[in-house]
Amino acid sequence: MPSYVTDANLNSYQLAFCGAVAGVMSRFVVAPLDVVKIRMQLQNHRTGFGFGSTPHAPIKYTGVLHSLKTIFKEEGIRGWYKGNVPAEYLYLSYSAIEFWTYKELETLIDGMDPEQKVPRVTKTFVSGMVAGSVATTLTYPFDLLRTRFAVQGDTKHYTGIYQAMKSIYTSEGMPGFYPGIRPALVQIMPYMGLLFATTHDMLSGALSGIFSKTAVYPIDVVRKRLQVQGPYLTNYVIQSTKYQSDSWWQCMKLSLYKGLIPSLIKVAPANAVTFLVFEETKKILVAL
């Protein structure tokens, strides 16, 4: 019983290729908004859901357009694409692993339910949830690098992917590549489950992405704040704020929805492009 995402004429590796192409294209489209979202998430002030704010530090990024203009003025167009190389690796490998795992799980579950007694939406939700968790775990170091590159100021602690990985391993060991992995998995399971269960075309991909992202967004804020702890802390974005890896509450108490607007603006085109490119690439492979 192939779903909208998979296809009976394509195997898991072909679908992984489709996912990789879709991931790369999606990342290129939303890169500037991703940088804005990350920097807004890491600012050290409270937000008031449009009813004002109680600042604990100067607010540098106050809105999407203002943030884009500020980054462009201070860092040029390259500032919009900081962290783009590890992010492209992340989106490529994440999408490939996710769609490969989804296909394998769908086949496995259908084999265990030959009479199709389990509702289709349940199968797609479970498959999407597990596929997202596997992809997140395997590609998390790229997510970490994407975040740390995106928040670098004038002082470049990390100058390249290899240098960054070597620096993190030397100063933090293997655990240094996985700060925030627990909230990341808690976030991704319902998010990807809902996304796969409700996606049937480009429009529903965009709408389901907005709904899912809003539901789990506070955990994304926690993940980003945990990712920038460690020896690399002092920069003009996070104001040297430290968060204990086992204290989610400490990370959440400043603001649960900081950076939500650029995140929502980003998630609609990101998911729309992902599923559009995925579907078109799939059609090409089927035709070939």
| Digit-coded pLDDT (tens) for 83-137 | 788 888 888 899 899 989 998 998 898 888 888 888 888 888 899 899 999 999 9
- Give the whole-angstrom CA distance, residue 174 versus residue 165: 10
* Domain assignment of residue 240, yes or no: yes
Read off the tokens for 15.
């679908």
**Nearest one of 147, 267, 143, 270 to 210, comparing CA atoms:** 267
Whether the per-residue pLDDT at 48 is higher than 70: the answer is no
Read off the tokens for 158.
């990390």
* Domain assignment of residue 3, yes or no: no
pLDDT at 138: 94
Quote the crossing angle between the two packed helices 120-150 and 84-112, to the nearest 10°.
160
- Give the whole-angstrom CA distance, residue 257 versus residue 49: 8
Convert the pLDDT of each residue in 163-180 to its tens digit.
Answer: 989 989 998 889 889 988
* Domain assignment of residue 133, yes or no: yes
* Domain assignment of residue 140, yes or no: yes
- Give the whole-angstrom CA distance, residue 199 versus residue 4: 8
Block residue for tokens 């470049």: 156
113 phi and psi angles, rounded to 5 deg: -135, 65
**Which structural domain, as residue segments, surrounds residue 218?**
12-287
Read off the pLDDT of each residue in 173-199 and give the average, rounded to a whole number: 84
The number of folded domains in the chain is 1
More confident position, 270 or 52: 270
Which helix (H) or strand (E) is 45 found in, with range? Answer: strand 45-46
- Give the whole-angstrom CA distance, residue 102 versus residue 193: 11
Residue type, 269: P
The conformation of residue 55, written as its DSSP 8-state character, comes to E
pLDDT at 131: 93
Q: 54 in helix, strand or coil?
A: strand
> Count H helices, E strands: the chain?
9, 2
* Domain assignment of residue 7, yes or no: no
Read off the pLDDT of each residue in 237-244 and give the average, rounded to a whole number: 44
CATH number where 254 lies: 1.50.40.10
What sign for the dihedral angle of Cα 1, 134, 228, 222?
Answer: positive
* Domain assignment of residue 184, yes or no: yes
**Nearest one of 71, 66, 73, 58 to 31, comparing CA atoms:** 71
